[in-house]
């Protein structure tokens, strides 16, 4: 629909751990409500009635009836009823507008007829009282019916303060009839000639389009007037102020709907209804941003303020009192007048929420609630994994977002971006403390933005598993586990480590600036970065405080990718790894040496033998003189070949064949 239903919260206090400044940093949301498939009236019919008594007429009129079809566009049809009293006899005329939808609206599903505030002319009526207290709808001065079932209607407002008649029926219906008739008004007019006019913009209903996993459903409408019971003639302070502010998406300390009772000596109950534009998913949470009025001095009355979800007229779940929804931390916020998030899962699909405030007998304190915003949201789904490792003596450079979980997945958080959440250790009461959730070294801190900071110290190496709670701007939370490995300090301070290709040789070079209790460097090579083989070793300088330089040559690199790393081994055989260097030797010989003598082995430069299905050696006449289907890790003894020229063929499991000519001397 064209009228704005509003935007929702962009930032709100994310969690009990980081609420100090966050509660004050409130801004309007950049998120808009999902737009669902809508339908509008496509045709209309209208009629008027003129009341007559002798020569006196009281006509009903209607103008611009076609303006009420299609989407609401601020072009209005105007229905007018006029009345006159002659010798204590009331004469009135009426007007009726029928709006027909293209498809039937299911039973108990709402259609919203956008109108303007009714106007009166020539009648000494207080329109505010007429709308808010006497009730045009309840008196049938504005009569709403449907072409099937028993219709029910109420006045509601959206976040832009537009006025609607919300219409439901006990049966599926396709036509809504609006009749304006002062004759149906049950009060005592006793007035001269007057007019009651109603401007109708159009009608909109929301179809049952599927709800996505992350669809945010706002309360598009709020009741224009609370239901008040038990007043017994006692005049209350205005029961409801600015109802539309609870559904306009603006979150600030000064923007709220105020529902209140009064300091009275009788039991009173005041309730406000908030309507979803569309029914919520069954597992959605009801989230609300509330604060207490200054007059609410006794928090004990919070037990008498409750939320109740409904689907149509059927309650969903049990009513939830404010007290039951406030933890100790949140209760403290509520006492300090801060904006406070509350949430609960009703336990089924719901399309409206009623907030009720009740006073007890001889209540001397004001009872009420400020409601800043409401919405229906899916719960937070949060998965973790293993974050990048840290090392003793090195500043941590890790975050939650790069976490991996074996082969089964990685970090994820449903709905919104990771930056829409704040993060905190869950059930870890202090740095270094171990609880049910595990812990981190006392020197490492998890920051609210999901990054880690700090430097592990000696003795803090090991594997740490801990729980993290993510909290979004609505106060919704999700909890999952993460793991961090803190590796031993390097036995040496490695300044550089480089690998360069020099022809068909891999030249490795590294520099250390300090060595303590160091024993050696083992040089390891891999073709896939996972399976490593030791290809050499160099002794270290044991103890050193100056730069030391080392080099190593791999004269027979693998064909294709070659990964290299240093295993830096201490005297007690503890060790740590360097970073990985990569070289590629696509032009490396398949076999060597070439030529080969009878006293040598012919070495195959295959790399990963698991990818090889067969090896053949063919002589100059084309005859296969050697064939094997297993890995030839030790090579082929050239003594078994007669002197001459040969071709070696290596067939891979993917069907590709590599070949090279060599000579047996």
Model confidence at 22, in pLDDT bands (50, 70, 90)? very low
Q: Answer with the residue of higher pLDDT: 600 or 34.
A: 600
Query: For the ranges 257-266, 462-471, 554-563, 596-605, which has the lowest average pLDDT?
Result: 257-266
DSSP run (H or E) holding 274? strand 268-276
Q: According to the model, what pLDDT value does residue 523 have?
A: 95
Q: Do residues 491 and 517 touch, judged by C-beta distance below 8 A?
A: yes
The answer, as to whether pTM is greater than 0.95, is: no
**In the predicted structure, residue 237 carries a pLDDT above the cut 70:** no
- Please determine, for residue 20, whether its predicted confidence score (pLDDT) is greater than 80: no
The string of DSSP codes covering 574-593 is -EEE---EEEEETT--SEES
Mean pLDDT, rounded, for 486-500: 85
H/E segment holding residue 329: helix 328-335
The sign of the CA dihedral 610, 613, 619, 624 is positive
Instruction: State the pLDDT confidence band at 174, using cuts at 50, 70 and 90.
Output: very high
Note the pLDDT tens digit of each residue in 92-104: 778 888 999 998 9
pLDDT tens per residue, range 460-489 = 888 888 889 998 877 888 898 888 888 877
Kind and range of the H or E run holding 497: strand 492-502
Q: pLDDT tens digits for 507-563?
A: 999 999 888 888 999 999 987 777 888 999 999 998 888 999 999 998 878 877 888
**Token pair in block for residue 118:** 């009714």
Give the residue-averaged pLDDT of 197-210.
82
> Which of these, 42, 154, 59, 34, lies nearest to 102 by C-alpha position?
42
Residue 54's pLDDT is: 47
Q: What is the pLDDT of residue 490?
A: 73
pLDDT digits (tens, 9 = 90+) for 78-127: 888 776 655 445 567 788 889 999 989 988 888 999 998 888 776 555 55
In the predicted model, what is the mean pLDDT of the chain? 79
**pLDDT(430) > 70:** no
- Which among 262, 269, 260 is positioned nearest to 240, based on CA atoms? 260
Whether 21 has a pLDDT exceeding 60, the answer reads: no
Residues in contact with 87: Cβ distance below 8 Å, sequence separation at least 6, in sequence order: none
Is 90 exceeded by the pLDDT of residue 315? Answer: yes
């Amino acid at each position: 629909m064209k009228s704005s239903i509003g935007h929702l919260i962009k930032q709100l206090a994310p969690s009990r751990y980081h609420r100090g400044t966050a509660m004050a940093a409130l801004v309007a949301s950049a998120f808009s409500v999902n737009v669902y498939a809508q339908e509008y009236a496509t045709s209309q019919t209208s009629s008027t009635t003129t009341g007559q008594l002798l020569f006196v007429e009281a006509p009903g009129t209607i103008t611009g009836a076609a303006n009420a079809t299609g989407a609401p566009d601020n072009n209005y049809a105007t229905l007018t009823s006029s009345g006159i009293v002659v010798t204590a006899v009331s004469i009135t005329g009426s007007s009726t507008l029928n709006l027909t939808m293209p498809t039937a609206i299911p039973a108990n599903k709402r259609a919203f007829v956008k109108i303007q505030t009714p106007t009166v002319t020539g009648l000494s009526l207080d329109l505010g009282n007429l709308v808010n207290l006497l009730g045009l709808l309840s008196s049938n001065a504005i009569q709403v019916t449907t072409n099937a079932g028993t219709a029910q209607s109420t006045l509601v407002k959206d976040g832009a303060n537009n006025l609607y008649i919300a219409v439901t029926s006990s049966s599926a219906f396709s036509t809504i009839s609006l009749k304006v008739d002062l004759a149906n008004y049950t009060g005592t007019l006793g007035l001269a000639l007057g007019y009651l006019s109603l401007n109708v913009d159009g009608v909109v209903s929301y179809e049952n389009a599927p709800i996505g996993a992350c669809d945010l459903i706002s309360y598009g409408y709020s009741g224009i007037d609370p239901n008040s019971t038990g007043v017994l003639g006692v005049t209350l302070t205005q029961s409801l102020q600015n109802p539309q502010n609870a559904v306009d998406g603006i979150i600030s300390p000064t923007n709220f709907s105020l529902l209140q009772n009064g300091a009275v000596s009788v039991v009173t109950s005041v309730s406000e209804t908030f309507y979803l534009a569309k029914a919520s998913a069954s597992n959605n949470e009801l989230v609300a941003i509330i604060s207490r009025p200054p007059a609410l001095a006794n928090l004990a009355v919070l037990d008498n303020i409750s939320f109740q979800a409904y689907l149509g007229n059927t309650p969903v779940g049990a009513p939830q009192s404010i007290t039951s929804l406030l933890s100790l931390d949140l209760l403290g916020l509520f006492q300090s007048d801060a904006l406070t998030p509350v949430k609960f899962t009703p336990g089924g699909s719901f399309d409206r929420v009623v907030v009720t405030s009740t006073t007890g007998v001889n209540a001397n304190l004001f009872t009420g609630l400020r409601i800043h915003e409401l919405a229906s949201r899916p719960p937070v789904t949060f998965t973790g994994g293993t974050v990048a490792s840290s090392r003793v003596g090195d500043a941590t450079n890790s975050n939650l977002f790069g976490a991996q979980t074996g082969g089964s997945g990685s970090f994820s958080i449903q709905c919104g971006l990771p930056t829409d959440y704040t993060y905190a250790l869950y059930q870890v009461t202090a740095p270094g403390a171990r609880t049910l959730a595990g812990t981190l070294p006392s020197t490492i801190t998890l920051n609210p933005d999901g990054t880690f900071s700090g430097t592990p110290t000696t003795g803090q190496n090991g594997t740490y598993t801990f729980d993290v709670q993510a909290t979004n701007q609505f106060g919704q939370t999700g909890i999952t586990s993460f793991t961090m490995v803190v590796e031993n300090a390097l036995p040496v301070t490695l300044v550089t480590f480089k690998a360069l290709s020099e022809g068909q040789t891999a030249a490795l070079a590294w520099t250390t600036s300090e060595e303590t209790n160091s024993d050696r460097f083992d040089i390891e090579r891999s073709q896939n970065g996972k399976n490593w083989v030791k290809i050499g070793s160099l002794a270290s300088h044991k103890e050193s405080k100056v730069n030391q330089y080392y080099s190593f040559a791999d004269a027979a690199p693998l064909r294709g990718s070659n990964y290299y790393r240093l295993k830096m081994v201490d005297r007690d055989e503890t060790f740590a790894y360097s970073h990985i260097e990569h070289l590629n030797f696509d032009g490396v010989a398949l076999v060597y040496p070439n030529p080969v003598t009878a006293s040598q082995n012919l070495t195959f430069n295959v790399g990963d033998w698991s990818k090889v299905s067969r090896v053949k050696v063919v002589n100059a006449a084309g005859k296969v003189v050697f064939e094997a289907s297993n890995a030839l890790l030790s090579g082929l003894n050239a003594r078994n070949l007669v002197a001459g020229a040969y071709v070696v063929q290596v067939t891979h499991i993917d069907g590709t064949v590599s070949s090279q000519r060599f000579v047996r001397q």
